[in-house]
A and B are shown apart, each in its own frame.
Chain A
Amino acid sequence: MKLIKSLLLCSAMFISLLSCKENNTYKERLKDPQLFHNSMQQLSDVIVYDIFSPPVASRVYMYPTIAAYAIMQKQYPNKYEDMAGQLKDFKTIPEINDPDIHAELAAIHAFLKVGAALIFSENKIMAYRDELYASLEQDGLPSSVKEASLAYGDLVAAHILAWADTDFYKQTRTYPKYTIQEGTAFWKPTPPDYMEGIEPHWNKIRTLVLAKADQFEPAPPYPVDMSKDSPFYQELMEVYELGEKIDGSTEATEIASFWDCNPYVSHHRGHAMFATKKITPGGHWIGITKIAAKQAQSNMDESINAYARVSIALFDGFISCWNTKWNTLIVRPETIINEFIDETWLPLLQTPPFPEYTSGHSVISRASAVALTDIYGDNFSFADTTEEVYGLGVRSYSSFIEASEEAAVSRLYGGIHYRRAIEEGVKQGDAVGKFIVEKLKTLK
């Protein structure tokens, strides 16, 4: 990060030396899609810092990105379709009515403004923003342009936040928590912290493109049945035996860790209790979107379009999956293996705090991969560096779908999902992704 920033600064200085009296460097900078990538990275960092659960994080990515897209659409109406009428309850944003408005700056401003409203540690976004604006002003951003763009960005942000306010998020904050159901089959909180089930009412959140949360219901899970020949028992033993087999160094371990994407892994070390924070599954695919956009040399508005389509797929994908999870209430492998098979068995990954079926990573990875394939094509080789910052290395894929399939199966290796939740989850994500590709028109 630091390196990139200082490089950027250095090149900016170099350019400013070359330019003559009227300093228009800011215009060049505002064309650079990296500016938006950085802003998105900033949002991602705060999401990690503030610890948002995967479904809530998908909401925090989505609204700011729609704000940026909506402004790009107003700026380039011939290139992009308005999302009004395509996303539930979304009304078109105010028009750009001041020639001083710089649309890209307004888009970044609206993005950060909406983002700051949805996260907790606002000061982190503000610090980034102030530094950015100061450097743009150094590079010649006239105050009239700045003021007009920011005013417009504020207007659009308010418009987006008013829309967000009606998505039932607020109300669901105080909906009843999950009451632990008696009986082996039902999901129960898991060690070490036995955290409260995350977002049992996420299916009440307003979908964007999907008509309703249960539009693409997967096949039902195998009934929990501990008789040795039941399909459930078979798949339970597969998780258990894989867990026994996998040790520190296999590729399966690497894959599981690479795609862990657990925003809050709790540790008890000596007398210290703490958590390790990481990006969410959605955050990982936002990262892949950046890699793809850069590799395809998408400009700023094209990059924003890609982020918007992926964040919409993530958002609806989580609602679809969470609807299934909290309706099926399937028990996690860790709980049932500890109870019936091996009291000391630990999954490779820490079990996340929500029911098992279907696998969220499988659903949303597939939905995102379908969205990205629609934009950048099927044969798109890339090196996924998203997890490098977490010390998890780089993995390479020849297509988005290939990456999504590895993400899906990683949950089996991680010991936190049965195979059926993965396979049916992939199908569920595929259906969600394809439906959105079909229905949602952006690039004309």
Chain B
Amino acid sequence: MKKHNLLHLAKNSLLFAVIYAGLQSCESPKEVSPVYFNSITAEQSGIDFENTLTPSADLNIIEYLYFYNGAGVAIGDLNNDGLEDLFVTGNQVQDRVYENLGGLKFKDQTAAADINTQNSWSNGVTLADVNNDGLLDIYVSVVGNYKTLKGHNKLFLNQGNFKFKEIAKEVNIAFSGFGTQASFFDYDNDGDLDLYLLNHTVHTPRSYGKAEKRTEKDALSGDLLFENTLETGVLNFIDVTQAAGIYNSPLGYGLGLATADLNKDGFIDIYVGNDFHENDYIYLNNGDKTFREASAKMTSNSSRFTMGLDAADLNNDAQIDVFTLDMMPDQASIRLKSGGEDSDKVAQIKEGFGFQTQYSRNNFQLNNGQGAFQEIALLTETYATDWSWSALIEDFDNDGFSDIFISNGIYRRPNDLDYINYLSNVNFSQYNQDQQDLLEKKLIEEMPQLEIANVLLHNQGDFKFKKYSEAAGLKNNYSNGAAYADLDLDGDMDLVVNNINSPLEILENTQDPSIHNFVGINLVPSAEIKNTSGAKLTLFSGQQIWYKELSATRGYASASSQNIHFGIGKNTTIDSLIISFPIGGTQTIKNISINSYQEISALIDSRIVPTKTYKNNTAAVVDFPFTHQENKYYDYEREPLMLEKLSTEGPCYVYEDFNGDGLKDLFIGGAKYQESAFYTQNEAGSFTAEIKTVISEDALYEDVDAAAIDFDNDGDLDLYVMSGGNDSPEGDIQLVDRLYINDGEGNFTRSEANLPMANGGSISVADFDNDGFSDLFLGFRSVPGAYGISSSSVILRNTQKGNFELLAREDYGMITDSAWGDMNQDGLLDLVLVGDWMPITVLINRDGRNFENQTEALGLSNTQGLWNTVLLQDLNGDNKPEIIAGNAGLNMKIKASVDHPVEIYLEDFDKNEQLDPTIFHTFEGEHIPFASKDMLSKQMPMLKKKFTSYTSFSKVREIGQLYDNPINEIESKYLKELRSMVYVNNGIFQGEPLPIEAQMSSIEDFYLDHQSGDLKLYYVGNYKGFVTELGNSPANTGGILSGFNGNTFIKNNPLPLPPFMEARAIGPLNSNKLLVLFNNDTAKTIDLNHK
């Protein structure tokens, strides 16, 4: 490895400076970043470039939407001297090419290279060897054919020695329109690079219409796909957009592009990030020169204002993940005065127009290797980095985990809500055209400016990321295009960032090479493999695995190094490197040296196509003939300040023998307006639907829970069904519970008993007074129309005379589930309750009649969560049941802890006889209201008076700043725990979270299999009833946990269930099948014997 003295000096003095600073600020030790970037000055680097933007009357942010999107950077070795060179674009200034002279010194070769982009608006740039001559060529995307902007995309063919020839026209790719960026990749595995052109559209006066519009064509804005005919001996590009099934529409606001083999089937796929209402596209390559757009199948949601993105493995499972950027602010006060998510109504309208769900935040699409992405930006806390452009996935500290660099900032913030208000008060009609131009200028000048620091999201492993800016040497700026490469060949990845109205940044990575090791590969073409682009490199060391695909286009409008670099942490030996090539075949290399760049000539040493790692074990899953049909009810139209719907709870089921034939039968509760179903089991273990008229007559009710109970003590099981829903008021007949009395042969009559009429939550049956008769707990979820308020639940003792005695009637909280278990080993069953905004509550049974709330004494008082399910089971063999509880999980936009709880304040603040539940949470260290100013003041117009500007609202940190009510008089509830947990029963309870995979969505039900000796905890989940501002949580339909270590389970395996479906219940169905019930979808059985 070459060492550069100058560099060394700089590094040392830097180290010194850090220590010095550390000494000075003893009180608050400065955050130390694992990565520090040293900004190289123009004098040092010899690069004097700035993307200077000068708005004019014709061209400014009001006349051209993307005026401040900035320009790109491409890094690659243009003269094959081993040092990576630099090409930067300028929107209004000349593009420049710089030769890397080593030692972070560069020479401007623009004039010599004959690169002329005067009078054109350059956006993206990428590097690719389009003619397989071993030299990287340059392709620049421009905006042309719009207002004063002329020009076309340019292909600078590399003639060697920094001589280039522009030949875009000659080879048919001189596109002139709204060019953003391009990617060259081999779409047909024929050994030459084809071209995807990413273009963007501009707004029309009608904002958006139907999504079908994406099938229309647009010559200026539509994306294009070109096939390279080099394999025939002629470098030429043929437009194959239509034949390949690529959208070429005016709907695509393409800003982000990556080409990678997303499903590892050997064909390179395309991820297109679209801004605004249009969804991102995932084009899966069919292998026959066509693509299928699969975003709806593969993702639950995408970023709404998708800008830059990168596609690379983020969790070392050798699958390509995708990280897309959006613009959610990460400073509380900016968030409170910027536009947030769509309203629930607009989200619903867009869905009606055919758009997929989008959220205005970064999206972390974790590839599950089974054909779908789990979106976990909220869990990884990577979701908000403000107005972000380039995402670059690389291991910047060589610790073996890929980090994410993000460039940030918008020169003018048009989404500042106070500015929008200000703009709305300007009376344009009073001005003539000349004055309007002046006015426009003034308006732009008054558009808020705010420099935002670039960000390094450091991957700490196990899906934990930590955000660094200043500590990593990253500065406030307006940064756009960015690219990585090891510019000084010292083993760590440096960065080049293109900024608006400030100099291009060369950021030298100052890793101490003694801490971590790396593997560097320079894959060079050969007669056999003429182009190495698209090669897949998998590196093995013991149990560890690293995976990369060689692809240039990443980030925003930029292209990064085509040298492959793996950080390998403390590892010192590499078992092997396997390279596979798009044209087929692999190359295996055993002797890989570390901590230097190794030149490898691409060769095929095996024709065996590697077995597809793309798993598909869904064969074990088959439909069960019950489809739950949720009725359409939009709770938020009545209660806009609520967090989640309380009207989509079912289905529930009961699996018991009702007809006395010794085989268990199955009852499945229907949603409102849907008949519940009843199935009798036959000897063969199959199920036959049977119409029970008395039950099907009650389709009006939404069944939320059910239980079998011998109510009348006649030796057979009767059926108690709890009704629920949030659309009828408490006391309404539509909420009445039903009791169906069994005649012993499975014939039911509905009991005339007076039963509760409320939004049901949970029923639990047990003989808690040991008299041989079944007693009851009935728990209720909510008071309809008043989110946050709970109703009283009841404990009922069976009097042995066909009726029940009320032992307790108390408001324990918003009950979702309950279970009986002898928690204190005194021979009496105790009651454990879970629900929303309440702790795991334990009622200790004193004498079969009196119950004592021992939650606090048992160490559970700080467990307030959004609990969905509870299971009591002894896991450690001490006969004392543990509490296993399913919560909302960590993939949530609100974060809760004991130190920083989420609060809900429950009061009719404007005294209009309607509850105004107001939620506060801690966001990036600031305690802020969850609902926006607009949302709150829609419900309480008085707040419009109190806060006449968004700026004033953005300062709200406490409930007292919103309302005049004395704080101690306001009822409040908390969330302090959102993780799904195991609480081990040691007399008091000791909580440990379930593994991180099990926190990726809500857990709605458990099933513990303890027969095989090894404890297996099955869980199912996903929940899509959250309001749009909070967002759905459908990243994990279910899994199997094992490896109980005395505290919790440590191993997770996915259940082969379809992605994104809302599972509500799981349980055994005869010996080797599990039944899984879904809200608003078809039930499934899982065959446990299937291999």
Contact = CB atoms under 8 A, between A and B. Distances in A.
B343 A196 contact: yes
A272 B912 contact: no
A177 B345 contact: yes
B662 interface: no
A194 B345 contact: yes
Interface stretch (A128-136, A185-193, A421-429): A185-193
B906 to A, nearest CB: 14
Interface in B170-225: 202-203, 205-209
Nearest to B206: A191
A328 to B, nearest CB: 20
Most buried by A among B62, B65, B345, B634: B345
Given A49-B425, A120-B945, A193 B207 contact: yes
Contacts of A439: none
B209 A343 contact: yes
Contacts of B412: 271
Contacts of A174: 638, 912, 914, 916, 939
Most buried by A among B61, B203, B346, B638: B203
Contacts of B209: 191, 338, 343
Given A123-B948, A171-B914, A192-B205, A271 B634 contact: no
Interface stretch (A2-10, A16-24, A207-215, A273-281): A273-281
A177 B591 CA distance: 68
Contacts of A346: 205-206
B207 A270 contact: no
Contacts of B65: 270-271
A177 to B, nearest CB: 4
B520 to A, nearest CB: 41
A196 B632 CA distance: 18
A275 B343 CA distance: 18
Contacts of B913: 171
A194 B353 CA distance: 12
B207 A275 contact: no
Most buried by B among A173, A179, A188, A392: A173
A196 B345 contact: yes
B772 interface: no
B412 to A, nearest CB: 8
A180 interface: yes
Interface in A200-246: none
Interface in B140-198: none
User: Taking chain A's interface residues, is the majority helix, strand, or loop, or is none over half, making it mixed?
Assistant: loop
Contact of B414 (A122, A188, A271): A271
A268 B637 CA distance: 27
Contact of B429 (A120, A194, A392): A392
B60 interface: yes
A180 B206 CA distance: 20
A273 B276 CA distance: 13
Most buried by B among A170, A270, A276, A390: A270
B349 A180 contact: yes
A105 B429 CA distance: 36
B939 A173 contact: yes
B804 interface: no
Interface string B393-428: 000000000000000000010110000100111111
B425 A277 contact: yes
B206 A273 contact: no
Nearest to A48: B425
Contact of B637 (A120, A122, A170, A176): A176
B60 A173 contact: no
Given A272-B414, A273-B420, A170 B912 contact: yes
A418 to B, nearest CB: 21
B105 interface: no
Nearest to A119: B945
A50 interface: yes
B429 A390 contact: yes
Contact of A120 (B67, B348, B352, B948): B948
A350 to B, nearest CB: 9
Nearest to A343: B209
A275 B346 CA distance: 18
Contact of B348 (A173, A180, A193, A343): A180
Contacts of B349: 180, 188-189, 194
B910 A177 contact: no
Contacts, number: 118
Nearest to B64: A270
B827 interface: no
Interface string B61-82: 1111111100000000000000
Contacts of B524: none
B430 A268 contact: no
Interface string B914-948: 10100000000000000000000011110011001
A248 interface: no
B352 A180 contact: yes
Contact of A268 (B203, B425, B447, B940): B203
A178 B910 CA distance: 22
A49 B425 CA distance: 7
Nearest to A270: B62
Contacts of A196: 343, 345
Contact of A269 (B62, B66, B447, B911): B62
Given A196-B345, A271-B66, A272-B423, A173 B940 contact: yes
A170 B916 CA distance: 13
Interface in A378-400: 389-392
A173 B424 contact: no
A327 interface: no
Nearest to A124: B948
A121 interface: yes
B939 A192 contact: no
Contact of A391 (B429, B640, B939, B948): B429
Contacts of B424: 274-277
Contacts of B634: 179
Most buried by A among B64, B423, B424, B427: B424
A93 B578 CA distance: 91
A274 B443 CA distance: 12
A315 to B, nearest CB: 18
A191 B420 CA distance: 18
A314 to B, nearest CB: 20
Most buried by B among A176, A268, A271, A390: A271
Contact of A270 (B60, B415, B429): B60
Contacts of B68: 271
Nearest to B413: A271
Interface in A243-300: 267-277
A192 B207 contact: yes
Interface string A343-381: 100100000000000000000000000000000000000
Interface in A151-193: 170-171, 173-180, 188-189, 191-193
Nearest to A269: B62
Contacts of A176: 637-638
B944 A271 contact: no
B637 A191 contact: no
Contacts of A343: 209
B345 A120 contact: no
A270 B205 contact: no
Interface string B442-471: 010001000000000000000000000000
B880 to A, nearest CB: 48
Interface in A51-97: none
Which are the 4 A-B pairs with shortest beta-carbon distances?
Answer: A391-B429, A192-B207, A174-B914, A274-B423
Interface of A: 49-50, 120-123, 170-171, 173-180, 188-189, 191-194, 196, 267-277, 338, 343, 346, 389-392
Given A196-B345, A277-B424, A277-B425, 14 more contacts: A50-B944, A120-B945, A173-B938, A173-B940, A177-B637, A179-B637, A180-B345, A189-B349, A271-B66, A271-B68, A272-B61, A272-B62, A272-B447, A274-B426
5 contacts: A179-B634, A193-B207, A194-B346, A268-B203, A270-B203
